[in-house]
C-alpha cells in the first residue's frame, strides 16, 4: 500500500508539473514581461522528482515482492532472479512507460539548462512543447497504463516476466537504449515546433539540438545492434534480423534521423534544405510514437509484442495529433521556410547529401509500407495477409548498395560543383585499393557478386578515410593523429560511423551468401560433418534453476582429431510458458561463428540446427562502431554561422589542387572544421 501510494503520488506530481510547464511556457511566449525563469524551472524539477519517485518506487516494489502492487503481481515472481526483477520494470507495458517518463524528464532538465531567461523564445517554446509531450505520457501512466493499482487480494506469488525477457543479460541493456533513443528525439521535435511557432526558422534550432539529436541517434544505433545480437543469441533461429514489424518500427526512425543528420549539415553549411529538415524531424518523432504503438498493441503479430492494452488506441491518437498538428503548423509557416540559396549542381557535396537523403527516405518508406500493409489490408477487407522477408530483401538490397555508393563518393565531392577529372583523381586511390581486395577475393574462390561488390565499396570507404586522416596530419605520429581526431570530433565521428556501417554491410552480405546451414537428428555418440568440423552428440543433463528448468545437450566439436569446442545448447522451460525457449550455443572466432541450436530433445535423441557464419564479429563490431562514432561526434562544436555563399566566397572555398578532397570531406555527423593537411577547403 505504501509503495503504491508513493508511486502514484510521484506520477501525479509529474503530471501536474508537466501541465504547468506547458501552460507557463506558452504564457511566457505571449507575455515574457510577466514570466520568470523560475516559473519554468519549478515544473521541470517537479517532473524530474515525480518521474524519479515513480520509477524508484516501482523497482523497490519489484525487489521486495510487493504483490499488492498490480504490476508486480502480473510481471514478477519470488523465484525471479534479482537482475530480472530489476529489468521487469521495463519488460512490460506499464513499467516501460514509467521508464519513458523518467528519460523524458531527464531530457527536459537538460533543455532547461540551455534556457537562461524567458527572453530565449526558442528555448521557452521547446520547453512548452516538451511539457505537452510529458503531459500525454504522465497521463498514460495515471490512467490506462497505471502500474500502481492496489489489489484487494494480493496473490502469494506471480507468474514472473515473459520467458524471452529473462533468458539473456542483454535485456538489461537493449530496451533502455532504445528508449533513450526514442525519447531523445523529443528534443529536436520540440525545438523544431518552437521554431515554427515563434517564426524563427534558420540554423539556431539545429545548433541547439545537434548534441541531443546525436545522443538519441547513437543510443538508437546501439539499441538496434544489441537487439540484433539478442535475437541471434536468444531466439535460437540462427539469424539476427527477421524484418519483424517491431524490429522495423525501430529501424524506420533511425533511417529518417540519419537523413536529418545529413541534411542539417547542408543547411548549416549552405543554407539550403530548411523545409526538408523540418519534415524529417517531425517525421522522426512521429515514427517513434508509431513504433511504440506497434510494440504496445496487438495490431501486428510480433515476437516483441508482449502486451495488449488500451494504451494502443491512446498512442495511436497521440500519433495522429502529432502528425496533423505538426504538419499543419509546418504548412502555415511554409512561406517563411523557403531557402534563399538553391542547389547549384547535383554533382556536388550537397547534391550527394541530397541523394543520400532521398535514398534513406525511400528505404524508410519501403520498410514502413511493408510493415503496415497487412494492417491496412485487414482493416479494410478483413483478410489477413503478411509481407515476408523476400519483399524486404528484394527492396532493401539495391537501396543499400546505392547508399554505400553515395557514402563512398560523397566525401570526395567538393561543394557547389565537381568536375569529372577532379572527382576521378580523388576517387582513384580508394577505388584501386577496393579493386585489389575484390580481385583477391575472386582469386580466393569467392563467387558471390554481392560479397565482392560490398568488399570493394567497403575497402574503398575505409581506405579513403585512412588517406584523409594521414593527409590531414603534418606527421604520422599517433599523438598527432589522435589530436586531429579530437579536434575534429564531429567530422571524424562521422568517419568512424561510416566504417562501422560498411562493416555491417560486409557482415550482412557474407552471412547471406557464404554461410552454411544443416539440420541433423542424432543419438548419443553419433556425429555429423559440418563446415570442416565433426560435431558429436555426447549426452544431456537437466539443471533445475530457481526460475526455470534447463535441459542442456552436449556436443563435441572436433577439427581433425582435436576437440576445439564443447557446445551446450539448451531448452529452457519456464513455469509461466508452456513452450520451451531454445538457447543456442555460439562459438565465435575471428574467422567464423559456429552456431548450434536445439529444436527437440527426447528419447535419447536430439534434433539440432547447425549454422556457420564467416566473419560474424564484423556485424557486432560494425554496429557498435556506428554508435561509438555518434558519441565521439557529440563533443564536436557546431559551426557558429552559415557559410558565405557569394561567388567570392565560393572562389575562396575552392580546393587548392586536384588532390584536395581527401582531407576535407564532410562527414555524416558534422561539417568538419578546416584541417591542417594539404589542399584544404578554407572557410
Do the bridges between strand 533-544 and strand 516-523 make them parallel or antiparallel, or are there none, so unpaired? Answer: unpaired
**Residue 455 domain flag:** no
- Give average pLDDT by consecutive 10-residue segment, the chain, 683 residues: 93 98 95 91 97 97 95 92 93 92 97 94 97 97 94 91 85 92 97 95 92 96 94 85 89 96 88 91 96 76 55 92 96 82 72 89 95 84 82 91 85 70 78 94 92 93 86 84 88 91 94 93 93 93 88 93 93 83 91 93 88 95 96 72 36 33 34 35 29
pLDDT of residue 587: 94
**Residue 108 domain flag:** yes
User: Helix 349-381 vs helix 389-409: angle between axes, to the nearest 10 degrees?
Assistant: 170
DSSP class per residue in 95-146: HHHHHHHHHHHHHHHHHHHH--STT-HHHHHHHHHHHHHHHHHHHHHHTTT-
Residues 6+ apart with CB under 8 A from 15: 50, 135, 138, 139, 141, 142
Report which secondary-structure segment, H or E, holds 176: helix 174-184
Q: Cβ of 133: how many Cβ atoms within 10 Å?
A: 24
* 524 φ, ψ (degrees, to nearest 5): -55, 130
What is the number of residues in the chain? 683
Nearest alpha carbon to residue 195 among 318, 325, 336? 336
Domain coverage including residue 85: 1-161
Alpha-carbon dihedral angle through residues 671, 675, 681, 682, given to the nearest 10 degrees: 100
pLDDT of residue 673: 37
Dist. CA 57–CA 122, nearest whole Å: 35
* 162 φ, ψ (degrees, to nearest 5): -50, 140
- Kindly tell me the number of DSSP H helices and DSSP E strands found in the chain: 20, 10
* 526 φ, ψ (degrees, to nearest 5): -85, 155
Contact 240, 232 (CB under 8 A): yes
**Residue 565 domain flag:** yes
Contact 471, 677 (CB under 8 A): yes
pLDDT of residue 302: 52
- DSSP 8-state class, residue 65: T
Task: List the beta bridge partners of residue 614.
Answer: 592
Alpha helices in 235-310 (DSSP H): 245-270, 274-295
pLDDT of residue 680: 32
Dist. CA 533–CA 300, nearest whole Å: 41
pLDDT of residue 299: 65
pLDDT of residue 376: 84
Dist. CA 551–CA 571, nearest whole Å: 5
**Residue 557 domain flag:** yes
Nearest alpha carbon to residue 172 among 229, 116, 134, 133? 229
Sheet containing strand 592-602, strands side by side: 516-523, 605-614, 592-602, 585-588
**Residue 104 domain flag:** yes
Strands (E), 132-267: none
pTM over 0.75: yes
Domain count, the chain: 2
**Residue 526 domain flag:** yes
pLDDT of residue 167: 82
**Residue 589 domain flag:** yes
What count of Cα atoms within 13 Å lies in the side-chain half-sphere of residue 438?
A: 20
**Three-class SS of residue 561?**
coil
Residues 6+ apart with CB under 8 A from 434: 455, 456, 457, 458, 459, 460, 463
Domain boundary among 584, 614, 644: 614
DSSP class per residue in 306-350: ----THHHHHHHHHHHHHHHHHHHHHHTGGG---SS----SSSHH
Residues 6+ apart with CB under 8 A from 394: none
Nearest alpha carbon to residue 231 among 514, 584, 500? 584
Contact 534, 527 (CB under 8 A): yes
Dist. CA 27–CA 479, nearest whole Å: 53
Domain boundary among 119, 142, 161: 161
Nearest alpha carbon to residue 182 among 235, 219, 232, 133? 219
Exposed/middle/buried for residue 389 (C-beta within 10 Å: 0-12, 13-18, 19+): middle
pLDDT tens profile 575-607: 877 788 888 999 999 999 999 999 888 877 899
* 446 φ, ψ (degrees, to nearest 5): -75, 120
Domain boundary among 614, 643, 673: 614
What count of Cα atoms within 13 Å lies in the side-chain half-sphere of residue 674?
A: 12
Exposed/middle/buried for residue 656 (C-beta within 10 Å: 0-12, 13-18, 19+): exposed
Dist. CA 4–CA 53, nearest whole Å: 11
CATH number at residue 42: 1.20.120
Exposed/middle/buried for residue 120 (C-beta within 10 Å: 0-12, 13-18, 19+): middle
Residues 6+ apart with CB under 8 A from 493: 629, 630, 631, 632, 633, 634, 636, 667, 669, 670
Dist. CA 629–CA 220, nearest whole Å: 13
- Provide the sign of the torsion angle of the four alpha carbons 345, 350, 353, 357, taken in this order: negative
pLDDT of residue 416: 72
- Cα separation of the two ends of the chain: 64
Report which secondary-structure segment, H or E, holds 412: none
Dist. CA 89–CA 68, nearest whole Å: 16
- Provide the sign of the torsion angle of the four alpha carbons 210, 216, 219, 220, taken in this order: negative
637: its cell numbers: 562544436
519: its cell numbers: 539440420
**Residue 79 domain flag:** yes
Amino acid at each position: 500500500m505504501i509503495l503504491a501510494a508513493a508511486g502514484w503520488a510521484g506520477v501525479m506530481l509529474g503530471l501536474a508539473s508537466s501541465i504547468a510547464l506547458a501552460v507557463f511556457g506558452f504564457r511566457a511566449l505571449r507575455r515574457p514581461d510577466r514570466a520568470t525563469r523560475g516559473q519554468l524551472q519549478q515544473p521541470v524539477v517537479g517532473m524530474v522528482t515525480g518521474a524519479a519517485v515513480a520509477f524508484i518506487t516501482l523497482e523497490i516494489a519489484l525487489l521486495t515482492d510487493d504483490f499488492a502492487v498490480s504490476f508486480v503481481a502480473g510481471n514478477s515472481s519470488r523465484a525471479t532472479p534479482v537482475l530480472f526483477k530489476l529489468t521487469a520494470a521495463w519488460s512490460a507495458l506499464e513499467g516501460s512507460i514509467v521508464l519513458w517518463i523518467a528519460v523524458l524528464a531527464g531530457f527536459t532538465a537538460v533543455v532547461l539548462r540551455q534556457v537562461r531567461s524567458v527572453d530565449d523564445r526558442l528555448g521557452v517554446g521547446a520547453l512548452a512543447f516538451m511539457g505537452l509531450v510529458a503531459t500525454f505520457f504522465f497521463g498514460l501512466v495515471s490512467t490506462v497504463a497505471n502500474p500502481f493499482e492496489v489489489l484487494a487480494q494480493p496473490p502469494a506469488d506471480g507468474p514472473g516476466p515473459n520467458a524471452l525477457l529473462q533468458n539473456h543479460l542483454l535485456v538489461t541493456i537493449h530496451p533502455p537504449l532504445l528508449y533513450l533513443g526514442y525519447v531523445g528525439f523529443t528534443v529536436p521535435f520540440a525545438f523544431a515546433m518552437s521554431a515554427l511557432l515563434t517564426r524563427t526558422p534558420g540554423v539556431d534550432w539545429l545548433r541547439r539540438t545537434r548534441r541531443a539529436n546525436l545522443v538519441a541517434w547513437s543510443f538508437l544505433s546501439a539499441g538496434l545492434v544489441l537487439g540484433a545480437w539478442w535475437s541471434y543469441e536468444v531466439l535460437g533461429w540462427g539469424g539476427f534480423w527477421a524484418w519483424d514489424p517491431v524490429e522495423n518500427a525501430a529501424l524506420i526512425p533511425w533511417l529518417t534521423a540519419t537523413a536529418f543528420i545529413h541534411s542539417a549539415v547542408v543547411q548549416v553549411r549552405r543554407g539550403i534544405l530548411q523545409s526538408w529538415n523540418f519534415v524529417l524531424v517531425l517525421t522522426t518523432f512521429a515514427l517513434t510514437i508509431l513504433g511504440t504503438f506497434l510494440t504496445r498493441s496487438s495490431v501486428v503479430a510480433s515476437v516483441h509484442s508482449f502486451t495488449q492494452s488500451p494504451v494502443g488506441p491512446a498512442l495511436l491518437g497521440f500519433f495522429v495529433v502529432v502528425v496533423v498538428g505538426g504538419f499543419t503548423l509546418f504548412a502555415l509557416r511554409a512561406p517563411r521556410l523557403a531557402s534563399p540559396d538553391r542547389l547549384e549542381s547535383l554533382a556536388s557535396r550537397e547534391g550527394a547529401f541530397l541523394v543520400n537523403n532521398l535514398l534513406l527516405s525511400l528505404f524508410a518508406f519501403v520498410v514502413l509500407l511493408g510493415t503496415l500493409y497487412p494492417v491496412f489490408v485487414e482493416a479494410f477487407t478483413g483478410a489477413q495477409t503478411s509481407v515476408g522477408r523476400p519483399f524486404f530483401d528484394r527492396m532493401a538490397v539495391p537501396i543499400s548498395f546505392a547508399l554505400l555508393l553515395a557514402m563512398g563518393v560523397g566525401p570526395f565531392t567538393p561543394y557547389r560543383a565537381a568536375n569529372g577529372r577532379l572527382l576521378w583523381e580523388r576517387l582513384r586511390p580508394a577505388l584501386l585499393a577496393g579493386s585489389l581486395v575484390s580481385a583477391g577475393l575472386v582469386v580466393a574462390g569467392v563467387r558471390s557478386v554481392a560479397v565482392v561488390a560490398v568488399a570493394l565499396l567497403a575497402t574503398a570507404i575505409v581506405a579513403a578515410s585512412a588517406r584523409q586522416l594521414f593527409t590531414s596530419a603534418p606527421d604520422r605520429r599517433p599523438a598527432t593523429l589522435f589530436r586531429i581526431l579530437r579536434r575534429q570530433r564531429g567530422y571524424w565521428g562521422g568517419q568512424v560511423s561510416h566504417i562501422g556501417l560498411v562493416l555491417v554491410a560486409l557482415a550482412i552480405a557474407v552471412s547471406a551468401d557464404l554461410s552454411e546451414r544443416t539440420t541433423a537428428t542424432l543419438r548419443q555418440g553419433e556425429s555429423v560433418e559440418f563446415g570442416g568440423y565433426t560435431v558429436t552428440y555426447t549426452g544431456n543433463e537437466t539443471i533445475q534453476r530457481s526460475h526455470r528448468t534447463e535441459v542442456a545437450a552436449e556436443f563435441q566439436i572436433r577439427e581433425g582429431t582435436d576437440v576445439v569446442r564443447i557446445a551446450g545448447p539448451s531448452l529452457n522451460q519456464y513455469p509461466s510458458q508452456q513452450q520451451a525457449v531454445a538457447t543456442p550455443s555460439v562459438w565465435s572466432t575471428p574467422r567464423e561463428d559456429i552456431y548450434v541450436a536445439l529444436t527437440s530433445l527426447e528419447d535419447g535423441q536430439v534434433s539440432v540446427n547447425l549454422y556457420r557464419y564467416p566473419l560474424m564479429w564484423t556485424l557486432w563490431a560494425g554496429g557498435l562502431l556506428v554508435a561509438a562514432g555518434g558519441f565521439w561526434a557529440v563533443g564536436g562544436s557546431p559551426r557558429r554561422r552559415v557559410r558565405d555563399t557569394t561567388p567570392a566566397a565560393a572562389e575562396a572555398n575552392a580546393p587548392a589542387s586536384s588532390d584536395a578532397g581527401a582531407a576535407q570531406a564532410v562527414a555524416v555527423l558534422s561539417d568538419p572544421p578546416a584541417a591542417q593537411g594539404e589542399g584544404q577547403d578554407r572557410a
